[in-house]
Structure 1
Amino acid sequence: MPTNDLSLKLLLAACCLGLLFSPPALAQDRDDSPPNIVYIMADDLGYGALGCYGQTKINTPHIDRMAAEGMRFTQCYAGSHVCQPSRSVLMTGLHTGHTPVRANDIQQFLRPQDTTVAKLLQERGYATGGFGKWGLGFEGTPGQPNLQGFDEFFGQYLQVHAHFYYPYWLNHNDGKHMLPGNEGGKREQYVQDVIHEQAIEFIRENHDGPFFAYMPYIIPHVELVVPEESEEPYRGKFPKISIQDPRSGYIGSEDGLTTLAGMISRLDAQVGEVLDLLVELGIDDNTIVIFTSDNGAQSGGKDKGWTKMTDFFEANGPLRGYKGTFYEGGLRVPFVARWPGKIPAGTTSDHVCGFWDMLPTFCDLAGIDPPAETDGISIAPTLTGSGIQREHVGIYWEYARRNGIGRAARMGDWKAVQANPNGPVELYDLSTDIGERWNVADRNPAIVRQITAFMDGAHTAPREITTDFERTSVNDYVR
């Protein structure tokens, strides 16, 4: 266990924040052409699901290539352990104690006054496009992506719509993009492919730059289905188990392990298409590409089918827990960054960072002054090796449940989890116990008090929701 007293660490960190404060690392390049930014985010892809993070059963050569040609982070965290608030943290640079959207709840969405990374980049002159799952507001709400800084958005505005791979329409800005190949229950247009094609076209049309391509793709979240050509390489390699979703209208698989592996490899191939396109367009060396996931791999399902698949592939690596938990398996995510000539190839970073850091990082890269209100710290110095990297005193998560707010925090190597609002605070030493197997709270009461005080101070009351929007019918979307 760490021998340094946490209070001393906090004092030193606070001093460093003042002493090391400096203008953005790339501010001297403000008059130069800023880099293009491509941010690809999988949905429910666990920390250990990629070859570059130890996966041995699923092939991910293109993302592995990104790691070989760029930087792989070992301690990057999602904004939340579930989808919707994780995206809010990413867009606003505010952790879940401050960000507007703090739960998977259709009644929560971004507000007109919220600052988003897309708004800031748009004001800087970036063409901004989003492709995939939004989750932060739909038609008629101020959270619609075109009102939050995106010139173009193509995909699914609602979380529940992004569960499905063969719907008969998608959102495209203020209208609908129809998919006649899926009408009447047909399965001719795999929606992940349709979304990807639009993202590729956006990059082509805006390759003169600068552009921000936000690609929150929906693989490998439910449903469990992929075109046969992606399953074929895995057919017969794994035990054949039927994985079905208990909810009506959801597609399952009679060969679930094969299907899931095929979905992840299909996503990997699409990442490869993006990398190849940048080379084709001659913009590879002026484009930073980041690949990550919105939270850990999922569990549950009928007969705990998703748990079985996550465990079989060790998709959360050595981490405890799954999506929806405050343990590392729900929060720690793969994070790979590639920028030829700027990010050293084949490097690994153990810098502790998270989604709240993306807004100040992208401001840094684009030569923008970040907003005063942010919980993030730019990781540009780590990425480029230029400047001094500031570190967080602590990082924080919360999620409101019916009986109150569950929460967690990390300070140094100490990780606190209070999943039950009325329960005790658990404490883990990640330097020796990455799997969070041994709760050492009883032996470290002073540390527990300090982290509890930090968590208490990290929460502000969320805004009240006063507008009641009618929920969109799932059946109207998938049939």
Structure 2
Amino acid sequence: MKNRTVIWKGFLMLLIGLSFCNTKGVAENEKPNKKSKKSPNIIYIIADDFSYKDLSIYGQKQYKTPNLDQLCKQGIRFSQAYSASGECAPSRSSVMTGLHTGHGRVRVNSSARGQDHLLDSDITVAEVLKSAGYATAFIGKWGIGQPQTEGVPYKQGFDYSFGYYDQVRAHTFFPDYLWENDKKITYPANAGFDMNKRYANNIPNPPKELLNSYDEQGKLILEEVADPQNAVFSEAVFEEKALNFIDKHSEEPFFLYYATQLPHGPVIIDSLGNMKDRVDIPQKQREWAAMVQRIDTFTGTLIETLKKKGIYENTVIVFSSDNGYSMAGYMGRGNAPKWEDDPWLKNKGPFTGGKFSIFEGGCRIPFFMTWEGHIQPSIVQKAVWLPDLFSTFSELANIKEVPKTDGNSLVPFFKNENTDIFNDRALYFSRQRAQAVRKGPWKAFRADSDAPLELYLVEEDTYNENNLAKDYPEVAIEMETIMNESHEPSEWYWNPWETRKDFEEKKKKAKELGQDLPTIRPNNIDRLPWEKKGDS
């Protein structure tokens, strides 16, 4: 991986450098390196912990999502779509680099060093698009590069970046600060927002005194902050920044990576909207639904903005979640296969497991894309995943030479071209010691490198109840071989063949070398719920 990234990083920097040199002495409005408007704009909306059946078009019955439903209907819906991981950071890393968790830089949310990040040598899709003349923007939750590291978005190919750079602070919806490129933007009105209360509330059926308060109009009541009337809900700022970026760059090709922090828990929303009257549903589920509906409403605003600018038909819009099912934002249950469906929203989908697992429930996601006049409405039943987006976006931008990734371009589905490569390719997943492979109709899983392999015909056995490893030994051997060959050793992450003691030694080494990374906690709370005593 190192040689690949170093060579390509140098090549990209050369392209960008030549682009800069070519503009010397040229009138500003000529912009010779800018692509013509034949190159489509690309907007990617990635939702945080969005569950498989959170959209009404996917089967949600308790509320409607008309704008996202319409996009899905008029585009390509991938019915067997996967994230690259069952958790946030590695999934986002795979989107940016096109690499799965056996090859990528960020492999779980935390390494032995802490919340790890992309390096300068990593190649992101933003850098590739920027080298081709695209204006690039990240807005929302980044999670793969803390402030003051080389992994921040403005050092990874984004002309403009705004939001939460670190992973955990994005749990805060009323932050004391956000980042705009390399500048800290403070929100003094939000001072005092109580994240300890929100984490305590992040359980099934919390006591009433821990619930958020809303008035008769469904508006959030925030009595604890310094200035309740001027408190700033971060998602509102993200929406404004996204619209400003489109307005500024509507005359040139742009890439907008809109990484909403919704509906990740602890659940809270500035307004319950039409869910305020749904007293038949518990409050936490109403909040989750309102968060989902806020994404839908803003999607409608985006579409109207693009149409008013006359660029809707030249814009590819992609929507997905970053990982699988999270029950109304409750804390995860690891690789536990028995993670029950939400009794009210019924949004998990027909899968075993949930967030933080590499079972189907942790990695199966809603995923669709549309391009007015270029994509015929269809449902694709072949397995695809988020690492495919690197190659897809590159091909859409007519970029011929791109680094090798673990994905394939989805553009052939647009053009009714040959898609046989998707029939039998291997999709590799890992989380600490656990590994999984999806290949053709099969899904294989093992808890660690010494554990017996489980094998399922996943298209007909989505709950993984009928282990066929003994019935199809040749398939089991093939899957084990893929697992053994797909995982490059990581210096700081927990490799599948390592023990807990090995990982603890890595943590010790990181401290001895001064390479342990600081923990950034939301709104300066003392300790996160999953931290041990003494970790703060």
Q: What per-residue deviation string (whole Å, max 9, x for no partner) do you get for residues 138-196 of structure 1?
A: 22211011110011111101110011111121111101122233123325221111112
Counterpart position of 2:51: 46
Amino acid at match of 1:397: F
1:340 pairs with 2:372: yes
CA gap 1:174/1:79 in 2 versus in 1, 3 angstroms: same
RMSD, aligned CA: 2.2
The structural deviation recorded for 1:388 is 5.0
1:211 pairs with 2:260: no
8 Å contact from structure 1 (residues 381, 389) kept in 2 = no
CA gap 1:320/1:473 in 2 versus in 1, 3 angstroms: closer
1:288 pairs with 2:325: no
Distance 2:434 2:262 in 1: 27
Q: What per-residue deviation string (whole Å, max 9, x for no partner) do you get for residues 106-165 of structure 1?
A: 442111111110000011111100111101112221101111001111110111001111
CA gap 1:371/1:423 in 2 versus in 1, 3 angstroms: same
8 Å contact from structure 2 (residues 454, 468) kept in 1 = yes
Distance 2:294 2:270 in 1: 9
**Secondary structure of the residue that 1:333 maps to in structure 2?**
coil
The structural deviation recorded for 1:436 is 1.8
1:434 pairs with 2:462: yes
1:94 pairs with 2:99: yes
Amino acid at match of 1:141: T
- Pairing of 1:56-95 with structure 2 (within 5 A): 56-95=61-100
Counterpart position of 2:451: 423
Q: What per-residue deviation string (whole Å, max 9, x for no partner) do you get for residues 182-231 of structure 1?
A: 12332522111111211111111111120000011111101211123425
Counterpart position of 2:189: 181
The structural deviation recorded for 1:422 is 3.7
Amino acid at match of 1:294: D
Distance 1:96 1:303 in 2: 19
Distance 1:349 1:115 in 2: 29
Amino acid at match of 2:321: S
1:145 pairs with 2:139: no
Q: What per-residue deviation string (whole Å, max 9, x for no partner) do you get for residues 222-278 of structure 1?
A: 12111234254552132x3xxxxxxxxxxxxxx111111111111111111111111
8 Å contact from structure 1 (residues 103, 399) kept in 2 = yes
Number of residues of Structure 1 aligned to a counterpart in Structure 2: 427
Counterpart position of 2:241: 198
8 Å contact from structure 1 (residues 135, 159) kept in 2 = yes
Distance 2:240 2:270 in 1: 16
| TM-score for both structures, normalised by structure 2 | 0.76
Counterpart position of 1:270: 298
Amino acid at match of 1:310: D
8 Å contact from structure 2 (residues 235, 261) kept in 1 = yes
**Secondary structure of the residue that 1:381 maps to in structure 2?**
helix
Counterpart position of 1:394: 426
Distance 2:342 2:360 in 1: 14
Q: What per-residue deviation string (whole Å, max 9, x for no partner) do you get for residues 335-375 of structure 1?
A: 11111001113x21112111111111111000112434211
8 Å contact from structure 1 (residues 46, 293) kept in 2 = yes
Higher alpha-carbon deviation: 382-391 or 429-438: 382-391
Distance 1:280 1:477 in 2: 44
Distance 1:435 1:62 in 2: 30
CA gap 1:167/1:340 in 2 versus in 1, 3 angstroms: same
1:133 pairs with 2:141: yes
CA gap 1:309/1:136 in 2 versus in 1, 3 angstroms: same
Tell which structure's C-alpha radius of gyration is larger. 2
The structural deviation recorded for 1:32 is 6.7
CA gap 1:199/1:442 in 2 versus in 1, 3 angstroms: same
1:358 pairs with 2:401: no
Q: What per-residue deviation string (whole Å, max 9, x for no partner) do you get for residues 416-464 of structure 1?
A: 0113444221111023212222222222222111101011111111245
Distance 2:36 2:66 in 1: 37
Distance 2:44 2:308 in 1: 19
Higher alpha-carbon deviation: 279-288 or 364-373: 364-373
CA gap 1:469/1:258 in 2 versus in 1, 3 angstroms: same
Identity in percent: 35
Amino acid at match of 1:86: S
Unmatched tracts of structure 1, length 5 or more: 1-29, 241-254
**Secondary structure of the residue that 1:184 maps to in structure 2?**
coil
Unmatched tracts of structure 2, length 5 or more: 1-34, 194-224, 334-338, 493-509, 527-536
8 Å contact from structure 1 (residues 425, 448) kept in 2 = yes
1:164 pairs with 148, 168, 172, which one?
172
CA gap 1:233/1:348 in 2 versus in 1, 3 angstroms: farther
Distance 1:425 1:293 in 2: 28
8 Å contact from structure 2 (residues 50, 323) kept in 1 = yes
CA gap 1:302/1:91 in 2 versus in 1, 3 angstroms: closer
CA gap 1:54/1:196 in 2 versus in 1, 3 angstroms: same
1:472 pairs with 511, 516, 520, which one?
520
1:383 pairs with 2:402: no
8 Å contact from structure 2 (residues 52, 324) kept in 1 = yes
**Secondary structure of the residue that 2:470 maps to in structure 1?**
helix
| TM-score for both structures, normalised by structure 1 | 0.84
8 Å contact from structure 2 (residues 176, 523) kept in 1 = no
**Secondary structure of the residue that 2:382 maps to in structure 1?**
coil
Distance 1:312 1:459 in 2: 39
Q: What per-residue deviation string (whole Å, max 9, x for no partner) do you get for residues 84-108 of structure 1?
A: 0001111001111100100101442
Distance 2:413 2:133 in 1: 25
